[in-house]
Structure 1
Amino acid sequence: MRPEAYKYIYFLGIGGIGMSAIARYFNAKGLPVWGYDKTPTPLTQALIEEGIQIHYEDDVNLIPEEVKQNREQTLVVLTPAIPAEHQQWAYLKENNYTIKKRSEVLGIITANAYTIAVAGTHGKTTTSSMIAHLLHHAGVDCSAFLGGISVNLNSNLLLSKNNEGREIVVVEADEYDRSFLRLYPDVAIVTSTDADHLDIYGDKDALIESFQHFISQVKPGGTLLLNTKADTRILNKIEDSVKVIRYGLEQAELNAGPITIAGHHFKFNLTTSTNIIPGLDLPVPGYHNVENALAACYVAQIMRVPPHQIRAGLAAYRGVKRRFEFVVDSEDYIYIDDYAHHPTEIDAFVKSLKALFPEKKIKLIFQPHLFTRTRDFADEFAESLSQVDEVELLEIYPAREKPISGVNAQMLLNRISGPNKSILSKEEVLRKLEQSIDFEVLATVGAGDIDTLVTPIKNILKNKKMFRKRKIISIIFASCCILILAGLGVFVAQKQAQKAVRKVSVTIDNEYNNYFISDREVKNILTNDGEKKIEGSKISDVDLKSLELRIKSHKFVREAQVYRDLAGNLNIKIKQNRPIARIVHDNSEEDVYIDDEGNILPLSERFTARVIPITRSLFRPAQNKSFYQDSLGQAYLDLLKFVEKDAFWKAQLAEMQIDAKGKVIFMPQVGTQAIEFGKPEEVEQKFKKLLVFYKKVLPAMGWDRYKRVNLEFSDQIICE
């Protein structure tokens, strides 16, 4: 098979970093490209902007008509992350489409090329991007398929411009699912062979055997660069004519010599027994990145890039997105984002952080990736994470896996030494940062969806910095103004104190159409039901603070401001409490509201709020009055706030129940089905599924067809 044999390309899992590079390749070749992915991301949006059509629902009807009508001319590219029960995959298999894994397509594309393949359980993305950058910077025409977004290229794909002669291709050789065995490189680099992907391999010996097969496929007369930390057993099946170069920071045939750190830059020499390139300057920090640079620079030498261009190219290298990426770099805070998801990677990352910032307090937010990896390396993860001053864990990102009993963030937290450790949701991470910043260096680390925190954290830190600058300027300005205004203020105050209150003006914020308190009621509070006159009294005789406290004592007043203006008027501004749910009891006189901060409010004789009733709560903790203000109840409060803010679901849901296990059940306004929501987790995703049920299933099947609808399980709606 040759890629040019096909006219239409369809991707299952187009949003993956490796899949998207191949999609871009076919798109650049002028072929129509479509794809499915589970969720929209910045990467899928970039692909759409490049002219690729993408959808996010596993629906056979969304497969393009061109694909359906041209089976023999269509190539389907599949990622291993697609589950076996995927409907579109099943359709394409049943109809005998040509379906190739990403690794197979990559092998076909590179079959006749001069291939430089970078393998290793970690370090391969940075190393391959360095090689591609050095060659591109030196004017060596080449293509590159990368496992990350190169900052210099702003892409994970580099395309050769020369259609004549043998193409040079730099490719990331992924060991997951033994994908790299599709490649037959001229030059191979193995950065590491630490145990990983044991869900695929079973044990490290099987992983080593797979690396042996990969190394045996290096073409005769080719070159292998092998990190000194890699397991030498992988050399057992290598071709005799393949040249082997061992590289490492020290005591290796290819080494870095003495390393110095200047700011964020690591400076070193490329040294071999016969050659030296002095004065190399790597602007992407980390000892592990120095190792990666050694291999990349040596490959550039193989490709006949002169030393001065290697030196210039390395100095111009800006790294890969989410690989030791400085998101905020200021005098106030340092914020770095990194893709590390294996304990060895985290250890190298933390050691580099501590070398760069030896005297600074470091906080690390980590999202474990895969249940099996967390289970297999829990002790190693804990050891690497225990090196920093504070650790915040997110729950495990499952990716392609189902949960494993007992394997969770708590299991990992229990193994981490040190008092400053916690488990937070992404929302709690952001709330905590908004409240206070008690670190000098912050790092977000992981391979899941932790990257969705990067922009919000960046904005919080930048706003804090701007606020600090404004505060300093304000203090200086205020100090000057105080002296000027002090004398004037005394004079005006004396004059104003002699004035009488002309009138009382009450403003009540009814943003949410709540009418629990009226103007008349406020004025009665101010005058003790008419006993004490306000209008006509001297302003100096009116205690504004006392009046404010009396208004705030009203059960439905959240905030109150009482102030006078220069005209002698007394102004009262009131913000009401906002009920978002009503807890219903057998005796209706015991019913209460919950507001959006989790406070319990009594009912009002004056007004009834239109909010969702909680008609049954068998969950014992929820029977505590402070439940919606503690850490367990916060998730239920967030669910109620979601319903209250969404006009559609507020109109559709008639009541909410909490069973003895803490699972939520909704009853709809229309229809008889019980909506089994489960624990208040993944709220937005569950309501998206329910919306699909409302828009597509109910109109087709009838509103009373089902007695229960279960939303608890990922990517499923169970109807009975």
Structure 2
Amino acid sequence: MHSQHGKKIHFIGIGGSGMSGLARIALSDGITVSGSDSKDSTVLSALVALGATVYSQHAAENVVGADVVIYSTAISSTNPEMSYAVERSIPILTRAQALAQLMVGTKSIAVAGTHGKTTTSSMLTVALQACGSDPSFAIGGTLMASGANAHRGTGQYFVAEADESDGSFIEYKPLSAIVTNIEHDHVDFFHTPQEVTTAFANFAATISPGGFLVYCADDEGSRKLGTQSHPFTTVSYGEAEGADLRLDQISLLPMGSSARVIWHGRTVGTLELQVPGHHNVLNAAACIAMGLSLGEPIHQLLAGLHSFRGAGRRFELKATEHGIRIIDDYGHHPTEISVTLDAARRYAGDGRVLVIFQPHRYSRTQAFLNEFATSLDKADDVTLLEIYAASEKPIPGISAELIAEKMQHGHFIPNFALAAERMIELAKPGDVIITLGAGDVNSLAPIIAEGLNKRFA
């Protein structure tokens, strides 16, 4: 989109995590940016400070003078700004199409997979920064270190989180890609596991012939994709025998981990992380495999990964009150929840793991009722809020209460205030409280912290 220099771009739904990042990059590229969003947020005030014009209502006149309109998938075709753009034949791009244009002319690296995309993209960005590069990036979450989810760097690399949830990641056509794992999710879009496999195969087919696919040898779906015949180089990582980038002597600690790094059969160093969980050891391995494939030095890559403090809402410590730690985590698929609660168990030591969980989407809840119940029961106690719809229409009869009924330690309390109160009364020093889910459950963390402060004061 360098070619858009001096043009005016209008973003419908500019406050969304992906959209605001693109707006930030467009502003860096010297493009005039306007946008509309009904929600007020710190993200919007930051964009205004960078020079964007932001409207709080969706109205046709907001689009007047725009050369291009970019919209998020959550926007309906009846939106007045969309209608105006269609009537006036103004070019309309999806977020993915716009991001693909922003990546032209760079060494683009797309990070895909059912789980771990945001963390792996964030880790790779930090690792490349440690190699002296100033990569551009567009990441779903908020990087803790920089506080921004997107940046137009001066370096040659562009790291982009590639979201498969609506199949749009086939737009990116990256030089290289990482696929962390492949499993059934986003059941509103992918009706069968086969559809997911096909989507990732289509994504891999867009990688440049001179590039490479970095895939996880420990994950069945990712391995199947990686071992098919491809016109580009494939690089495997994991604990599996024969992986190109192999980790062994893995030591998982309450708030970090370490492992020996072996590249094509040779020990090249030790990985030391300050974020917990076995899954993060694998995410880091993906970054090392990509970095080495790009010709970057191992010691700088390892130093960058050691400095990584986590992506926002990924096992993020929000507060400590009287020995009770409050963690926020975005986990919203049974596999992610299982991994998060394993890490929480190590982190809690002798304390209990207490969870407030908000399921995300009716379709996902319906598809994985039993899996949610099983993974959540890894905690000592779970308070279940009602399902966060995320632009879906409710499915009759589907409620978070169904998960609670299948659990040993599940309690359905849809009222946010009562759920927070329950947690404040239940917690004891040494316990770990987790606000869990991709909706707005994280808004309870400061309320619980304040309540605990008062209770023990």
State if a TM-score over 0.5 links the two structures.
yes
Correspondence for 1:10: 10
Partner deviation per Cα, 1:242-292 (whole Å, 9 max, x = no partner): 222222245451332122234412111222333323332100111111110
Q: Which amino acid aligns with 1:115?
A: S
SS of alignment partner, residue 23 of structure 2: helix
Aligned partners of 2:448, 2:50: CA distance in 1, in Å? 28
Query: What is the CA-CA distance between 1:19 and the residue it aligns to?
Result: 0.9
1:235–1:13 Cα change, 3 Å: same
Q: Contact 1:409–1:423 at 8 Å: present in 2 too?
A: no
Out of 328, 343, 346, the position equivalent to 2:319 is 328
RMSD: 2.2
1:317–1:177 Cα change, 3 Å: same
1:169 is the counterpart of 2:129: no
1:399 is the counterpart of 2:390: yes
**Higher RCO structure (Cα 8 Å, ≥6 apart):** 2
Partner deviation per Cα, 1:146-184 (whole Å, 9 max, x = no partner): 11111111111132225xxxx321111111221110122
SS of alignment partner, residue 249 of structure 2: coil
SS of alignment partner, residue 257 of structure 1: strand
SS of alignment partner, residue 244 of structure 1: strand
Aligned partners of 1:249, 1:356: CA distance in 2, in Å? 23
How many residues end up aligned between the 2 structures?
453
Structural mapping, 1:525-604, within 5 Å: none
Correspondence for 1:655: none
1:248 is the counterpart of 2:257: no
Correspondence for 1:126: 119
Partner deviation per Cα, 1:485-527 (whole Å, 9 max, x = no partner): xxxxxxxxxxxxxxxxxxxxxxxxxxxxxxxxxxxxxxxxxxx
Correspondence for 2:437: 446
1:26 is the counterpart of 2:59: no
SS of alignment partner, residue 188 of structure 2: helix
Q: Contact 2:324–2:428 at 8 Å: present in 1 too?
A: no
Partner deviation per Cα, 1:645-704 (whole Å, 9 max, x = no partner): xxxxxxxxxxxxxxxxxxxxxxxxxxxxxxxxxxxxxxxxxxxxxxxxxxxxxxxxxxxx
Aligned partners of 2:266, 2:148: CA distance in 1, in Å? 33
Out of 272, 275, 278, the position equivalent to 2:269 is 278
Aligned partners of 2:328, 2:28: CA distance in 1, in Å? 30
Greater shift, 124-133 or 216-225, is seen at 216-225
Structural mapping, 1:176-215, within 5 Å: 176-215=165-204
1:364 is the counterpart of 2:355: yes
Aligned partners of 1:443, 1:140: CA distance in 2, in Å? 36
Partner deviation per Cα, 1:601-650 (whole Å, 9 max, x = no partner): xxxxxxxxxxxxxxxxxxxxxxxxxxxxxxxxxxxxxxxxxxxxxxxxxx
1:281–1:377 Cα change, 3 Å: same
Aligned partners of 1:421, 1:128: CA distance in 2, in Å? 35
1:213–1:461 Cα change, 3 Å: same
Q: Contact 1:216–1:238 at 8 Å: present in 2 too?
A: no
Q: Contact 1:3–1:109 at 8 Å: present in 2 too?
A: no
Query: What is the CA-CA distance between 1:233 and the residue it aligns to?
Result: 4.0
Query: What is the CA-CA distance between 1:136 and the residue it aligns to?
Result: 1.0
Q: Which amino acid aligns with 1:225?
A: V
Q: Contact 1:212–1:236 at 8 Å: present in 2 too?
A: no
SS of alignment partner, residue 259 of structure 2: strand
Correspondence for 2:421: 431
Out of 88, 91, 101, the position equivalent to 2:94 is 101
Higher-Rg member (1/2)? 1
1:180–1:237 Cα change, 3 Å: farther
Query: What is the CA-CA distance between 1:307 and the residue it aligns to?
Result: 2.6
Q: Contact 1:213–1:237 at 8 Å: present in 2 too?
A: no
SS of alignment partner, residue 194 of structure 2: helix
Percent same amino acid at aligned positions? 32
1:388 is the counterpart of 2:379: yes
SS of alignment partner, residue 150 of structure 1: coil
Gaps of 5+ in 2: none
Aligned partners of 2:333, 2:253: CA distance in 1, in Å? 28
Partner deviation per Cα, 1:550-571 (whole Å, 9 max, x = no partner): xxxxxxxxxxxxxxxxxxxxxx
Query: What is the CA-CA distance between 1:464 and the residue it aligns to?
Result: 5.0
Query: What is the CA-CA distance between 1:436 and the residue it aligns to?
Result: 5.0
Aligned partners of 1:411, 1:433: CA distance in 2, in Å? 21
Partner deviation per Cα, 1:386-428 (whole Å, 9 max, x = no partner): 111000111111112111101111122112233x523232222
SS of alignment partner, residue 259 of structure 1: strand
Aligned partners of 1:174, 1:343: CA distance in 2, in Å? 18
Partner deviation per Cα, 1:296-339 (whole Å, 9 max, x = no partner): 12222223332322222122111111011111247711211111
Provide the TM-score with structure 1 as the length reference.
Answer: 0.60
Structural mapping, 1:293-692, within 5 Å: 293-329=284-320, 332-418=323-409, 420-435=410-425, 437-438=427-428, 440-463=431-454, 467=457
Partner deviation per Cα, 1:22-42 (whole Å, 9 max, x = no partner): 010011223221212232233
Q: Contact 2:331–2:436 at 8 Å: present in 1 too?
A: yes
Aligned partners of 2:14, 2:229: CA distance in 1, in Å? 35
Out of 276, 288, 295, the position equivalent to 2:279 is 288
Gaps of 5+ in 1: 468-720
Out of 93, 104, 115, the position equivalent to 2:108 is 115
Partner deviation per Cα, 1:526-574 (whole Å, 9 max, x = no partner): xxxxxxxxxxxxxxxxxxxxxxxxxxxxxxxxxxxxxxxxxxxxxxxxx
Greater shift, 247-256 or 383-392, is seen at 247-256
1:88 is the counterpart of 2:81: yes
Partner deviation per Cα, 1:212-239 (whole Å, 9 max, x = no partner): 1111122223221112214144347652
Aligned partners of 2:427, 2:444: CA distance in 1, in Å? 16
Q: Contact 2:421–2:448 at 8 Å: present in 1 too?
A: no
Correspondence for 1:158: 151
Correspondence for 2:45: 45
Correspondence for 1:594: none
